[in-house]
Amino acid sequence: MSVPVDSLPPIRWPDRPRSSYDVVIVGGGGHGLSTAYYLATRHQLTNVAVLEADYIVSGNTGRNTTIIRANYGLPEAIRFYQHSLEMYRDLEQEIGAAILHQTRGIVWTAHTETAMRTERARCLVNTACGARTVMISPAELKDVVPQIDLAGGGRYPVLGASHHLDGATARHDRVAWGYAAGASQRGVDILQHTPVTGLVHAGDRVAGVQTPGGPIAAGVVLSAVGGRVTALAAHAGVRLPIRTHPLHAFVTNNYAQELGSIVASTELVCYVSQTERGQMLIGAEFDAQPSYSRQSSFSALRAYAYKMTKLLPFLRELRILRSWAGICDISTDFSPIMGETGVDGFLVTTGWGTWGFKAIPAGGEAMAELIATGRAPALIEPFRLDRFARDHLVADHGSAGTR
Amino acid sequence: MLWLTCPNCGRRPVEEFVFGGEVRAESDPILEPDEQDIDLVWMFDNPDGLTTERWFHVAGCGRWTTIRRDTSIDVEVS
């Protein structure tokens, strides 16, 4: 069933925050808003504020390439993302807003024997953990994506591909606005243009946030910040294994035919999907050097275009309409960080790097449960911040779709 | 796009370099407490502003150099 696009209930915009909340969520992106939504709907916690420095969905939630997939390489990650992927399927009914969800499948092409081994292993571990991924031959790939050049422009010949059947896309701003509206209707305060400049301390614990309008007391502060999380965590004395790198993306003009599947390449590290409007949406690896610059660069566009036209030659006929960049929090082991920080009253959901959009439903649900019950659900237990000190990494670099 | 100054090769595009991370104080793995080692291995300053970094000119002279960079706008500063 699909819900009409204009069905979104209005968001209530309070003029000013209350002086105190049970929960203050810093960051009005997908993760912050979905956490607020599940706090209100699943745990009846509505004395909650979401503080956004700019306007909601102005950060990476509104800048990513909206791919939903669960074809990771480690059981912990596959189970988490598979749960999120399944939540996305029912999200229109859950939040009562059209999110333009489309299951298209994703093919990850392999161009070397090493990559073939990696993709075969991916298919096996995916199947074992409940995600549907199968190995396909070049001929089968041609059936799924007739536009593909199996010779890879003579440079990247395609030896095979893993086909993740449940790969999907959804409209990012609809997802976040749907969560925002649902949370707002149940009493959550969403405050835009309210930057958090520091934290309020009470002894060893965090007891609120500082804003230009004055302090706001909070039982729990959750950082759902994308991009500037290191600075916020530093106010709590928490150090994070995160570097912030820009990632560029662009869309072309309309392509009249249909691209049957999302196409990604482990070797070339780039991915292309078709938007609802028929435009081709292309992203690739993040910049090698960390920075907070959202300036899109010609050299990045040229590099992405070079790679993708080798696999999909028809892209040469299209023109780049718009390009942009987002700043991604990349953790040391290329997995997210969710849960307690060792400082009472201060939680984080971060390290969402280039894989955050797909995790919005499951991440928000899990963080809401942690805040409401004080116990992290088993699904996110492997993603604790202290895994680094304990040397229990969730190192899944090869599944991040970037490097 | 970022351009970096190599002391041997001059101003070159960032694609020729490998990022080597920010310059940090070395700790003594035997004398320092474990927390400091963990911090050195895993955690980053990740500054939004001026930082000092090591870069390796892999597609040039093949030498390491130290560069000052403003991460908020991604340009080299002297």
Residues A355 and A382 in one domain: yes
Phi/psi at A105 (5° precision): 85, 155
Residue-range definition of the domain harbouring residue A183? 11-64+172-241+333-399
Chain A residues with CB under 8 Å of a chain B CB are 228, 230-231, 239-244, 246, 287-293, 295, 297-300, 332, 388-389
Query: In the predicted model, is pLDDT for residue B27 greater than 90?
Result: no
Total of domains in chain A: 2
Q: What is the DSSP letter of B32?
A: S
* Angstroms from B56 CA to nearest CA on chain A: 12
Task: Indicate whether this complex's ipTM tops 0.90.
Answer: yes
Query: In the predicted model, is pLDDT for residue B1 greater than 90?
Result: no
Query: Which of B43, B53, B74 comes nearest A293 by C-beta?
Result: B74
- What pLDDT sits at residue A340? 97
Residues A145 and A160 in one domain: yes
Superfamily of domain B3-77: Folate-binding superfamily (3.30.2270.10)
- What pLDDT sits at residue A5? 55
Residues A259 and A297 in one domain: yes
Q: Inter-chain contact A243–B46, Cβ cutoff 8 Å?
A: yes
Chosen domain end from A302, A331, A360? A331
What is the domain partition of chain B in residue ranges?
3-77
What is the domain-level CATH number for residue A137? 3.30.9.10
Residues A326 and A186 in one domain: no
Chosen domain end from A288, A305, A331? A331
Residue A371 lies in a domain: yes
What is the arithmetic mean of pLDDT over B20-31?
84
Q: What is the pLDDT of residues A26-67, one digit of tens each?
A: 999 999 999 999 999 999 999 999 999 999 999 999 999 999
Query: Which of A289, A293, A332 comes nearest B42 by C-beta?
Result: A332
Contact at 8 Å (CB) between A96 and A178? yes
What is the domain-level CATH number for residue A350? 3.50.50.60
Is some CB atom of chain A closer than 8 A to the CB atom of B33? Answer: no
Residue A222 lies in a domain: yes
* Positions of chain A with pLDDT lower than 70, given as ranges: 1-7, 401-403
Residues A207 and A139 in one domain: no
- What pLDDT sits at residue A204? 95
